[in-house]
Amino acid sequence: MTTKKIFVEQVLSKLTGGNISPNFAIKELEAGKIVDQVTNGVIAIECKKGFRDDYVTTYENVPILFDTVKKVYYSDIKRVISLPDQSGVVQVSSMEDQSVIFIPASANASFKYPNIQDLVGTTPVYYNEQKRLIYLNYSPNTNITSALVKLVVDRSELDEEEDYQIPAGEIEDLITGLVLNKFQSK
């Protein structure tokens, strides 16, 4: 398992020749930001090549909540990497019955189709709004109270100890090399 912390330590170790001094000009926070940026870029390219499943993080029991101000049902999620057609959100399904899969829609679907139930029946529909999934025709009568959500998460959203979901080997080496190049060209 590779974490941001491991990546940052590897980069700083290579930049310092293995002797990381507390007085070293590049701090862990700065290195972590560059590692996140480079990793997100590499993941976006890999996803466009068709390797998206290698970078998916699964979240279980994500609560479905009700926003009393906006009058919508939603789930809070981590920010996803920007990919075409909202494909950073890989799957949203009922936690209770994973055969109940929610259908992605565009953010303006509720305006285009005010009676969306007429189009999709009782099939749950969602769209991604920053760090929130908005459910368009969710009904609490379905007894679905939580979701299984699979995302290609923006790596800056992960804790330093969370699995970075990077295949070991070539991709990990590519990211490390690109990060080192960024620092060495400064």
User: Same domain for 146 and 108?
Assistant: yes
Q: Which pLDDT tens digit goes with each residue over 111-141? A: 444 454 444 455 677 778 889 998 877 778 8
Number of domains in the chain: 2
User: Same domain for 76 and 125?
Assistant: yes
- pLDDT for res 109: 53
User: Same domain for 115 and 37?
Assistant: no
Q: What is the mean pLDDT of residues 137-153?
A: 87
Give the helix, strand, coil percentages of the chain, each rounded to 5: 40, 25, 40
First to last CA, the chain: 30
- Distance CA(155)–CA(163), nearest Å, equals 10
Q: How high is the mean pLDDT of the chain?
A: 84
Q: Which residue has the higher pLDDT, 147 or 119?
A: 147
User: Same domain for 129 and 178?
Assistant: no
Q: How many residues in the chain?
A: 186
Q: What is the mean pLDDT of residues 166-178?
A: 89
Q: Is residue 174 within 8 Å of 42, Cβ to Cβ?
A: yes
Phi-psi region of 123 (alpha: psi -120 to 50; beta: other; left: phi over 0): beta
- pLDDT for res 55: 92
Strand duo 125-129 + 103-104: pairing: parallel
- Distance CA(182)–CA(14), nearest Å, equals 13
Q: Which residue has the higher pLDDT, 120 or 108?
A: 108
User: Same domain for 142 and 172?
Assistant: no
**Residues of the domain holding 85:** 57-151
Q: Which pLDDT tens digit goes with each residue over 56-91? A: 999 999 999 999 998 888 999 999 998 887 789 999
User: Same domain for 67 and 34?
Assistant: no
Q: Provide the greatest CA pair distance for the chain.
A: 65
User: Same domain for 65 and 114?
Assistant: yes
- pLDDT for res 17: 82
